[in-house]
């Protein structure tokens, strides 16, 4: 083989190697670029989600602060009424009055809750809490009917039992949902307060 041919073959081989190398380089580069881009997109998305998540967590914390204050006031009223009830009141008029006040306290809490801004993750909790308060009002209302009936031995108290059971059911549902959402947003510490 002549030197000239060798040079040509070598040149062709080199060109081929360069072309293959370039191809490999460009394909791998594109892959790396795509991966980098994907990672960047994912990071952006993560940051965005994190932002949304932290915004939601903030909203939940704010809701918790406001609603807890209302519930604390409610608990104080309920405790006072329970103390009255346990102090051996002297007649059924007082009994009816205390029961009416207890029902009014629940109605007020329900009304206040309905006017609050509810963060999206707490929508289910809100629904359960409202149902709990509705059943609480209904149960106390049934008890009030019982006291007003003056017919204590023969009064059909199935409605009271039903309302009591509904109340227990919804309070458990609301509690479980609250714990779930707070856990999801790392807000468990709010459950302790």
Partner 1 sequence: MTKKLKSKRLKIILAIVYVFMTACIIFLVYLIVATCLVEKDRQAQLALWESQKKALSDERAADSDKMVDKDYPPYDITADREGVMDYDKMTAEDFFPLKLSIPKIDLEWILYEGTDTQTLKQGPGHIIETSLPGDVGRCTISGHRTTYGSPFSRIDELVYGDLVYLETMGSEVFTYAVKGQNIVNPEDVYVLEGSYKRELLLTTCHPKYSAEKRLIIIAELVNLYTFE
Q: Which residues bind partner 1 (CB under 8 A)?
A: 78, 82, 85, 88-93, 95, 99, 102, 136, 139-140, 143, 146-147, 150, 152-154, 157, 160-161, 164
Residue 110 CB, nearest distance to partner 1 (Å)? 14
Nearer to partner 1, 98 or 118 (CB): 98
Nearer to partner 1, 102 or 178 (CB): 102
Residue 128 CB, nearest distance to partner 1 (Å)? 18
Nearer to partner 1, 146 or 169 (CB): 146
CB-count exposure of residue 167 (10 Å: 0-12, 13-18, 19+) = buried
Which residue's structure tokens are 């947003």? 185
CB-count exposure of residue 18 (10 Å: 0-12, 13-18, 19+) = exposed
Nearer to partner 1, 59 or 97 (CB): 97
Contact 63, 117 (CB under 8 A): yes
Token pair listed for 63: 């809701």
Nearer to partner 1, 153 or 193 (CB): 153
Residue 125 CB, nearest distance to partner 1 (Å)? 21
- Roughly how many angstroms between the first and final C-alpha of the chain, as a whole number? 92
Residue 160 CB, nearest distance to partner 1 (Å)? 7
Closest residue by Cα to residue 169 from 123, 120, 136: 136
Residues 6+ apart with CB under 8 A from 152: 146
Residue 151 CB, nearest distance to partner 1 (Å)? 8
């Amino acid at each position: 083989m002549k030197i000239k041919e060798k040079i040509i073959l070598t040149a062709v081989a080199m060109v081929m190697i360069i072309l293959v190398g370039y191809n490999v380089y460009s394909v791998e580069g594109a892959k790396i670029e795509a991966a980098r881009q994907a990672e960047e997109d994912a990071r952006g998305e993560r940051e965005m989600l994190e932002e949304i998540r932290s915004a939601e967590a903030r909203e939940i914390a704010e809701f918790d602060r406001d609603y807890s204050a209302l519930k604390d006031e409610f608990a104080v009223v309920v405790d006072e009424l329970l103390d009255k009830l346990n102090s051996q009141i002297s007649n059924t008029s007082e009994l009816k009055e205390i029961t009416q006040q207890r029902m009014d306290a629940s109605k007020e809490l329900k009304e206040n809750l309905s006017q609050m801004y509810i963060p999206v993750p707490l929508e289910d909790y809100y629904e359960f809490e409202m149902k709990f308060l509705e059943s609480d009002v209904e149960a106390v209302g049934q008890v009030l009917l019982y006291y007003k009936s003056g017919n204590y031995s023969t009064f059909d108290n199935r409605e009271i039992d039903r309302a009591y059971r509904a109340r227990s059911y919804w309070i458990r549902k609301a509690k479980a949902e609250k714990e779930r959402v707070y856990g999801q947003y790392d807000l468990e510490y709010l459950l302790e307060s």
